[in-house]
């Protein structure tokens, strides 16, 4: 077959751009189609913008509470437009970095909406924005196909991602009922907000709004907040939410909305200024085509950026990974992270458990952040799960993950020297309680 490219990739999010860069490093000719912006949801509407706004909200709250640390701050004011400006700058800087990396790797980036015709053919929908990133980057064996043309590729990778899930009765109107995309574009903060869903996205936004002083309420259908977490973690989060005065209802759903009045299944009526609906994401796919490789959120498997990246690397570089060891992180203060089995997944009596409270860790006291724990579950001297509610949990979990990935025994881990004073000492202490 007279292919134009070795590899055609649809979607320039973490899955797609990782695949493109790694394929190109192997000397393959690559064309990458992106209908919106390079970086995908993660960079433009997800991981990065939310963490940037979250950080601003934490700085604001810390400044207001700085007296606890011996610092008096007066006339503290919040300019939300500057928060958004900073977020936009962060996103742009990172996007430019990825675009440059793609350019340097000689990946042909085509801006436009692509469609898979068959396992070797991609067609491009007409779009005024269509342009090759660099007109000089033509493959040396065949000219770039015409705009709106057909692209023949030896292999096609579909990494078209996912979109906010729409549920009946809570369809987005983009003004009152907002998606996680819409919420990034609000010009000013509301006085009150209702967040439907307490997965990572719902919890992070609840923390952001609460930090900024917005009256925040969360509604969750499941028995506990953060339903995918270990139950002890969920319960601790509920305790933290109570302390932070974030109102929440579990085992509750929105029954109906009447003229911006929200009737809950428990009989209560709320009148928030706006509602964020964060109840999951739907893969951007219609029918799967045989012979095409699907990676990232579009697979509907674990919808996390690092999972998407690992799937790309597994396919192109052949580096296998243990999917069950994909870590989860929820950002905010304190961070929450886990990997492996939850306590509710294990048969009673079949495992050992150790739990170290942050109040036993020196660094937690120095930072004024003593609400949380490090919990490790083991079976036959091997760690099978870890659940952390602590500052730096996002990094701490990775120490345990490396051990789990490599089957390092608890006894062997005890040989490692952990620095003092750090949160990681909590991991070390936990090992001796197993
Ligand atoms: C608010 C929020 C916060 C999040 N926070 C985190 C986090 O902290 N950590 C984490 O790991 N994950 C987080 N995620 C999830 C993360 O964003 C996704 O898992 C990740 O973006 C998936 O990467 P992907 O490459 O599969 O898809 P995407 O990032 O969705 O990229 C897909 C790309 O394909 C493009 N596309 C779609 N169809 C076509 C077409 N026909 N032609 C051309 N282009 C097309 C889209 O425009 C998009 O750019 C968050 C998500 C949200 C919404």
146-192 pLDDT, tens digit each: 456 899 999 999 999 999 999 999 999 999 999 999 999 899 999 99
Distance CA 261, CA 245 (A): 22
Instruction: Tell me if residue 399 falls in helix, strand or coil.
Output: helix
Distance CA 131, CA 111 (A): 6
Structure tokens given for 174: 């983009």
User: Whose alpha carbon is nearest atom 9 of ligand 1?
Assistant: 47
pLDDT at residue 216, rounded to an integer: 98
Q: Tell how far the Cα of 163 is from the centroid of ligand 1, in angstroms.
A: 8
Tell me: pLDDT of 198 over 90. yes
As a whole number, mean pLDDT of residues 370-380 equals 98
Per the CATH hierarchy, to which homologous superfamily does domain 166-279 belong?
FAD/NAD(P)-binding domain (3.50.50.60)
Nearest atom in ligand 1 to 51's CA: 8
CATH 3.30.390.30 fits 325-431, yes or no: yes
Tell how strand 254-258 and strand 121-124 pair up: unpaired
User: Whose alpha carbon is nearest atom 47 of ligand 1?
Assistant: 36
Distance CA 298, CA 161 (A): 4
Nearest atom in ligand 1 to 41's CA: 29
Q: Tell how far the Cα of 49 is from the centroid of ligand 1, in angstroms.
A: 12
Q: Of 183, 165, 184, nearest to 275 (Cα)? A: 183
Q: Tell how far the Cα of 278 is from the centroid of ligand 1, in angstroms.
A: 15
Instruction: Tell me if residue 225 falls in helix, strand or coil.
Output: coil
When the pLDDT of each residue in the chain is averaged and rounded to a whole number, the result is 94
Q: Which residues are registered as beta bridge partners of 280?
A: none
Distance CA 47, CA 91 (A): 10
As a whole number, mean pLDDT of residues 408-414 equals 97
Tell me: pLDDT of 140 over 60. no
Structure tokens given for 205: 């936004």
Residue with tokens 């909590």: 426
Nearest atom in ligand 1 to 295's CA: 26
Distance CA 198, CA 237 (A): 11
Tens-place pLDDT, residues 255-286: 999 999 999 999 999 999 999 999 999 999 87
pLDDT at residue 132, rounded to an integer: 42
Tell how strand 30-34 and strand 108-111 pair up: parallel
pLDDT at residue 127, rounded to an integer: 55
Distance CA 160, CA 303 (A): 12
Tell me: pLDDT of 136 over 50. no
**How far out from the chain centre does Cα 137 lie?**
33
Band of the pLDDT at 49, cuts 50, 70, 90? very high
Q: Tell how far the Cα of 289 is from the centroid of ligand 1, in angstroms.
A: 21
**Are the C-beta atoms of residues 240 and 390 closer than 8 Å to each other?**
no
Distance CA 311, CA 325 (A): 13
Q: Tell how far the Cα of 353 is from the centroid of ligand 1, in angstroms.
A: 36
Nearest atom in ligand 1 to 18's CA: 25
Instruction: Tell me if residue 396 falls in helix, strand or coil.
Output: helix
Residue with tokens 């739990």: 355
pLDDT at residue 114, rounded to an integer: 95
Query: What contacts 401, CB < 8 A, 6 or more positions away?
Result: 325, 327, 339, 386
Residue with tokens 């005024």: 128
Do the domains at 2-163+282-317 and 325-431 have one common CATH topology? Answer: no
Q: What is the value of pTM for the model shown? A: 0.94
Nearest atom in ligand 1 to 184's CA: 1
Q: In a mutational test of the pocket of ligand 1, which residue from 305, 309, 326, 335 has the highest number of ligand atoms less than 8 Å from its CB?
A: 305
DSSP string, 14-76: HHHHHHHHHHHHTT--EEEEESS-TTHHHHHTSHHHHHHHHHHHHHHHHHHTGGGGT----S-
Distance CA 288, CA 16 (A): 17
Q: Tell how far the Cα of 161 is from the centroid of ligand 1, in angstroms.
A: 5
Q: In a mutational test of the pocket of ligand 1, which residue from 19, 31, 36, 47 has the highest number of ligand atoms less than 8 Å from its CB?
A: 47
Angle between helices 305-317 and 14-25 (to 10 degrees): 30
User: Whose alpha carbon is nearest atom 6 of ligand 1?
Assistant: 47
The one-character DSSP state at 299 is G
CB-based pocket (< 6 A), ligand 1 = 10-16, 33-36, 40-42, 45-47, 50, 113-114, 159-162, 180, 201, 284, 296-298, 303-306, 308
Distance CA 66, CA 420 (A): 25
User: Whose alpha carbon is nearest atom 49 of ligand 1?
Assistant: 40
CATH number given to 2-163+282-317: 3.50.50.60
Structure tokens given for 294: 């699907």
**Are the C-beta atoms of residues 399 and 377 closer than 8 Å to each other?**
no
Structure tokens given for 22: 């790694």
Query: What contacts 379, CB < 8 A, 6 or more positions away?
Result: 346, 350, 351, 352
C-alpha angle 224-226-230 in degrees, rounded to nearest 5: 80
Q: In a mutational test of the pocket of ligand 1, which residue from 9, 13, 281 has the highest number of ligand atoms less than 8 Å from its CB?
A: 13
Band of the pLDDT at 134, cuts 50, 70, 90? very low
Instruction: Tell me if residue 11 falls in helix, strand or coil.
Output: coil
Q: Of 275, 311, 247, 318, nearest to 11 (Cα)? A: 311
Radius of gyration from C-alpha coordinates of the chain:
24
Tens-place pLDDT, residues 11-42: 999 999 999 999 999 999 999 999 999 999 99
Q: Tell how far the Cα of 91 is from the centroid of ligand 1, in angstroms.
A: 14
User: Whose alpha carbon is nearest atom 15 of ligand 1?
Assistant: 304
User: Whose alpha carbon is nearest atom 7 of ligand 1?
Assistant: 47
- Write down the domain spans for the chain: 2-163+282-317, 166-279, 325-431
């Amino acid at each position: 077959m007279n292919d134009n490219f070795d590899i055609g990739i649809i979607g320039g999010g973490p899955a797609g751009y990782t695949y493109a860069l790694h394929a190109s490093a192997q000397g393959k000719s690559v064309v990458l189609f992106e209908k919106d912006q390079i970086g995908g949801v993660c960079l433009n509407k997800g991981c990065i913008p939310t963490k940037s706004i979250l950080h601003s909200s934490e700085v604001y709250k810390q400044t207001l509470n700085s007296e606890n640390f011996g610092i008096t701050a007066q006339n503290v004011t919040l300019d939300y437009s500057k928060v958004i400006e900073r977020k936009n700058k962060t996103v742009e800087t990172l996007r430019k970095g990825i675009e440059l990396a793609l350019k340097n790797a000689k990946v042909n980036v085509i801006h436009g909406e692509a469609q898979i015709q068959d396992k070797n053919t991609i067609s491009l929908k007409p779009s005024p924005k269509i342009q090759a990133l660099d007109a000089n980057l033509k493959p040396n064996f065949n000219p770039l196909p015409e705009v709106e043309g057909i692209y023949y590729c030896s292999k096609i990778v579909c990494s078209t991602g996912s979109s906010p899930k729409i549920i009946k009765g809570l369809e987005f109107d983009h003004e009152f009922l907002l998606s996680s995309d819409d919420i990034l574009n609000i010009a000013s903060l509301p006085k009150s907000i209702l967040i439907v869903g307490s997965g990572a996205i719902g919890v992070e936004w609840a923390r952001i709004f609460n930090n900024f002083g917005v009256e925040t309420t969360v509604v969750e259908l499941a028995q506990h907040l953060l339903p995918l977490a270990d139950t002890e973690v969920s319960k601790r989060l509920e305790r933290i939410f109570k302390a932070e005065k974030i109102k929440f209802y579990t085992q509750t759903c929105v029954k109906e909305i009447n003229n911006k009045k929200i009737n809950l299944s428990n009989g209560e009526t709320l009148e928030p200024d706006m509602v964020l609906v964060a109840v999951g994401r739907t893969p951007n796919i219609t029918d799967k085509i045989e012979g095409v490789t699907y990676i990232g959120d579009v697979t509907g498997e674990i919808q996390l950026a690092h999972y998407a990246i690992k799937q790309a690397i597994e396919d192109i570089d052949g580096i296998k990974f243990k999917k069950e060891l994909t870590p989860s992180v929820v950002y905010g203060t304190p961070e929450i992270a886990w990997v492996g089995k939850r306590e509710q997944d294990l048969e009673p009596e079949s495992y050992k458990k150790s739990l170290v409270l942050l109040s036993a860790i020196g660094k937690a006291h120095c930072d004024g952040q003593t609400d949380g724990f490090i919990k490790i579950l083991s079976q036959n001297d091997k760690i099978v799960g870890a659940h952390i509610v602590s500052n730096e949990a996002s990094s701490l979990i990775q120490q345990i993950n490396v051990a789990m990935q490599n089957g390092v025994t608890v006894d062997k881990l005890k040989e490692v020297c952990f620095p003092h004073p750090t949160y990681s000492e909590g991991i070390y202490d936990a090992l001796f309680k197993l």
